[in-house]
Structure 1
Amino acid sequence: MQSLPSVVKFCNKHSHNEKAPNMQNKMCNYKSTWEVIMNSTDFSNTLPIDSSHPPSEPSFVLLQARDRVVCLVLDVSGSMGASIFQLSDLFF
């Protein structure tokens, strides 16, 4: 689980525990996280970033400007029960 603060690096072929009963082994055919990442099509044709030539700044182009559309959806079915609030509560 990469979101845990205790996770500071990915396991590789040498540090991976193939006998652990975890989702990594179950879902990835007992391969380490780093092996799965490096075999991904996202990384198969890329080179490591050269620190002397950092990547360029991203640029964004607005292709089509539109008016903002706001949609208000109200559920007045019985399943909402007591959690229905008045429309005036939204604006005041």
Structure 2
Amino acid sequence: MNVPNLEKFKKSYEEQLKKYQTIEKERENIVVNRQQLEAQLTQNNLVKTEMDLLEPGTNIFKLVGPTLIKQYLDESKNTVNKRLEYINDDINRCE
């Protein structure tokens, strides 16, 4: 191999390496995001399961800053169901 071809090969190799490193960083970010979404999904499924055990008219409180605010059970269930939909949509996007 002569020197110009070697330089060309080296330059091409460095470009491909940079592309690979960029893609690898993107993949790592996606994996981290996916893990966070899975954790949120698990937590929200647990909340949904607990709410399904409650009887109608049960008092539900939402923590907003340092304050507990009373909410209706149906409203809370709808909020959790919407949150689960959003999380599942985000997981599908990650896939």
Question: TM-score scaled to structure 2, two decimals?
Answer: 0.19
Give the TM-score normalised by the residue count of structure 1. 0.19
Q: Considering Cα pairs closer than 8 Å and 6+ residues apart, tell me whether 1 or 2 has the greater RCO.
A: 2
Between structures 1 and 2, the one with greater helix share? 2
**Higher strand residue share:** 2
